[in-house]
Amino acid sequence: MPEFERVAAVSEIPPGGRLSILVDDLPSLLVRIGDEFLAVEDVCSHDGQPLTNGPVEGCAIICPRHGAKFDLRSGQPLCMPAIEPISTFEVQVRDGEIYVRPRS
């Protein structure tokens, strides 16, 4: 089972905010929706575009290149042109710190 690694403090990300992080050397994105933190691979499964600056709608992020939308909880694509999911990570918040690990 992979270990959780600390990636940020809760205070670094306001509600609606996001932070670029590395998880196992993989560019990833930590997004705060209300009090929930979600972490996904920061690479669109359609053609490799970083999702870093993509708009967030509800619990989904939209690829800024061709408009594919991904569920931030499951990583599943919600519309074309993406047909493959992106990776999501387990997130834990403990004592004001955010920890992330790959799903096994």
Stretch that binds ligand FES, among 6-14, 18-26, 41-49, 83-91 (CB under 6 A): 41-49
61 binds ligand FES per the rule CB under 6 A: no
CB of 21: closest distance to ligand FES in angstroms?
20
- Distances in whole angstroms, Cα of residue 4 to Cα of each of 55, 72, 92: 27, 19, 8
94 binds ligand FES per the rule CB under 6 A: no
CA 63 to chain centre: 12
Strands laid side by side in the 56-57 sheet: 56-57, 60-62, 69-71
Q: Contacting ligand FES (CB under 6 A), which of 63, 72, 86, 100? A: 63
Binding footprint of ligand FES on the chain (CB under 6 A): 44, 46-47, 49, 63, 65-68, 81-82
